[in-house]
Amino acid sequence: MSTMSTEQPVRVRFAPSPTGHLHVGSARTALFNWLIARKSGGAFILRIEDTDTARNVAGADRKIVEDLRWLGLHWDEGIEVGGPHAPYYQSQRMDLYEAAIARLLETGHAYYAFDTSDELDAMRAVAQERKCTFRYPRPERFPDEADVERARQQGLPVVVRFVMPERDITVNDEIMGDVTVAATELDDFIIRKADGMPTYHLANVVDDAHMGVTLVIRGQEFLAQTPRHIALQAALGYATPRYAHMALTMDMKGRKLSKRDGAVEVFAFRQEGYLPEALLNFIALLGWSPGGDRERFTLDEMIGLFSLDRMNRMNSKFDRDKLLAFNTDAIREASPERLLAAFDDWLSVNPDSPIAKANLDTATRRMLLAANTSVRTLADLESRAGFIFAADDAIAYDPAAVKKVLEKGDGAGYAMLETLVAVFEGLEPWSEEAIDETIRAFCETQAVGMGKVAQPIRVAVSGGTVSPGIGQTLALLGREKTLRRIRRILTERPVQS
């Protein structure tokens, strides 16, 4: 079978910058790396690329760790778990970069430069005017240490640039195919910034080599940069790893996924009540398909099915509706234990919700879940049943609901509530079953439809027309609160017609 890949164990890495919570696009990159590591019996490494001191956000590494763990994408080597190539923060590996830069300087593969950003901008502007690609003008004579000293004294920025070889470079990409970039498109890029930190290109290449990374799976935005990395590897005597550049995930308009149209961080989806298995399944299908009609998989199934040659080359759009559908199914298919665990996790990341503040016992949480199997996200439980646990005077009445359910027909709904008060006062015991049974019997003797009875109650206790089953709702609410809310609406009569 073709799915029984002969993939050799690969060493892959996920190397985010610590700027905040994990973005779903990054999660997708992490997932594919993780999948192939698991499938091949290789290793998945988590490295933090924090060489941009200005952009680093304190605590972001912790958030990334939390998000990755929530997804179930565990790493074999990296921050927090350690490994043979520790440390896994680039800011702690400066000696490695310094050694590499020194070697490049000594062998004539790199040189110092002192241009200010204004000068650089001016040169680019000129190139722009002449409509040609800007390429940094390599000096005929490379500055020596004395020049560096002089530049420093003059307060000029001192950077190190790599001598880009004058040859076309082909990337043998496992997704995009062979991509050749002409020598004329590449110039002497910076490998050490004025603040002494290595640039992404240098640190990334050095670390991948030292950590024994054999396969690099990353977003297509890096494809055009890869020739630089290949040249760097050649100059440093490193082997070039295999490359696989994935097409990107965009928003529904084909633009970059932005916070403006909804959650983009894994943590935000967690707070919105998505299950990691649903998110992962959905994300996996953005640019990958095992072929055929199947599209629902567990993580374990994905490991078995995954292969790079099934990756698409075209960008995909993040369709939130489809994700919601996946989540709906994941909730419906989850075992009671799994669902309870997921709900508890949701409560832990939504501590301010009424439902979390109610500190429900396990039996009640189970009951709530069992009776609301039609929710699409765990957060729906809050919007559906949150009012039960809110304070009585926090209930806001929906004017349209009041008008339609209570006032219509000369206040028939209010009249119904008046009658119901007496019924509820004598109802024993106050349980879901007894309440349902009593209401059912009441409807029969009064010869009215269920809707005529249940809807007024809903509006009275919730303010709107939506709630879980009426028996469960009132049982959870308790007799006292039920009656209090009914009496309150009878006195207030919130909307005048």
Near RNA by CB under 7 A: residue from 103, 242, 310, 357? 310
Which residues from 358-387 bind RNA, rule CB under 7 A? Answer: 373-376, 384
Report how far residue 243's alpha carbon sits from residue 57's, in angstroms, rounded to the nearest whole number: 29
Report how far residue 5's alpha carbon sits from residue 48's, in angstroms, rounded to the nearest whole number: 30
Residue 468 within binding range of RNA, rule CB under 7 A: yes
* Ramachandran angles phi, psi of 41, nearest 5°: 75, 25
Window contacting RNA (CB under 7 A); options: 77-85, 145-153, 185-193, 349-357: 185-193
The two tokens of residue 127 are 């190139």
Which residues from 332-351 bind RNA, rule CB under 7 A? Answer: 332
Q: Of 7 and 52, which has the nearer Cβ to RNA? A: 52
Window contacting RNA (CB under 7 A); options: 91-99, 360-368, 411-419, 444-452: 444-452
The one-character DSSP state at 83 is -
Contacts for 285 with CB less than 8 Å, ≥ 6 apart: 295
Residue 262 within binding range of RNA, rule CB under 7 A: no
Q: Of 421 and 448, which has the nearer Cβ to RNA? A: 448
Per-residue x/- track, 106-125, RNA (CB under 7 A): ---------xxx--x---x-
Q: Of 274 and 359, which has the nearer Cβ to RNA? A: 274
Residue 177 within binding range of RNA, rule CB under 7 A: yes
Q: Which amino acid is at 128?
A: Q
Report how far residue 312's alpha carbon sits from residue 218's, in angstroms, rounded to the nearest whole number: 14
Near RNA by CB under 7 A: residue from 291, 336, 399, 478? 291
Q: Is 452 a catalytic residue?
A: no
By residue count, the chain amounts to: 497
Half-sphere exposure of 420 (CA within 13 A, CB side): 29
Near RNA by CB under 7 A: residue from 248, 263, 367, 490? 248
Q: Of 54 and 359, which has the nearer Cβ to RNA? A: 54
User: Least Å distance between CB 1 and RNA?
Assistant: 12
Q: Of 309 and 361, which has the nearer Cβ to RNA? A: 309
Residue 432 within binding range of RNA, rule CB under 7 A: no
Residue 155 within binding range of RNA, rule CB under 7 A: no
The two tokens of residue 81 are 């778990």
Q: Of 3 and 348, which has the nearer Cβ to RNA? A: 3
Q: At what angle do helices 276-284 and 60-71 cross, to 10 degrees?
A: 90
The two tokens of residue 142 are 């490379």
Residue 293 within binding range of RNA, rule CB under 7 A: yes
Among residues 20, 13, 49, the alpha carbon closest in space to that of 197 is found at 49
Near RNA by CB under 7 A: residue from 84, 155, 237, 292? 292
Beta strands at 177-181 and 77-78: parallel, antiparallel or unpaired? unpaired
Q: Which neighbouring-strand residues pair with 179?
A: 171
Which residues from 190-229 bind RNA, rule CB under 7 A? Answer: 190, 193-195, 197, 199-201, 204, 220-225
Q: Of 200 and 274, which has the nearer Cβ to RNA? A: 200
User: Least Å distance between CB 221 and RNA?
Assistant: 3
Beta strands at 110-113 and 169-173: parallel, antiparallel or unpaired? unpaired
Q: Of 174 and 319, which has the nearer Cβ to RNA? A: 319
The two tokens of residue 59 are 């605590």
Place of tokens 């040169």: 123
Window contacting RNA (CB under 7 A); options: 64-72, 390-398, 413-421, 469-477: 469-477
The number of residues that bind RNA (CB under 7 A) is 91
Report how far residue 142's alpha carbon sits from residue 129's, in angstroms, rounded to the nearest whole number: 28
Residue 409 within binding range of RNA, rule CB under 7 A: no
The CA distances from residue 41 to 8, 36, 76, 156, 356, in Å, are: 8, 8, 11, 50, 41
Residue 260 within binding range of RNA, rule CB under 7 A: no
Query: Residue 293, exposed/middle/buried by CB under 10 A (0-12, 13-18, 19+)?
Result: exposed
Which residue is catalytic, options 253, 256, 259, 322? 259
Residue 51 within binding range of RNA, rule CB under 7 A: yes
Which residues from 65-104 bind RNA, rule CB under 7 A? Answer: none
**431 backbone φψ class: left, alpha, beta (φ>0; ψ -120 to 50):** beta
Half-sphere exposure of 112 (CA within 13 A, CB side): 18
The two tokens of residue 299 are 């993580």
The DSSP secondary structure of 137-194, one letter per residue, reads ---SS---HHHHHHHHHTT---EEEE---SS-EEEEETTTEEEEE-GGG----EEE-T
Residue 17 within binding range of RNA, rule CB under 7 A: yes
Window contacting RNA (CB under 7 A); options: 32-40, 60-68, 127-135, 273-281: 127-135
Near RNA by CB under 7 A: residue from 25, 42, 287, 386? 287
Q: Of 6 and 41, which has the nearer Cβ to RNA? A: 6
Residue 168 within binding range of RNA, rule CB under 7 A: no
Near RNA by CB under 7 A: residue from 89, 143, 174, 317? 317
Q: List the catalytic residues.
A: 259
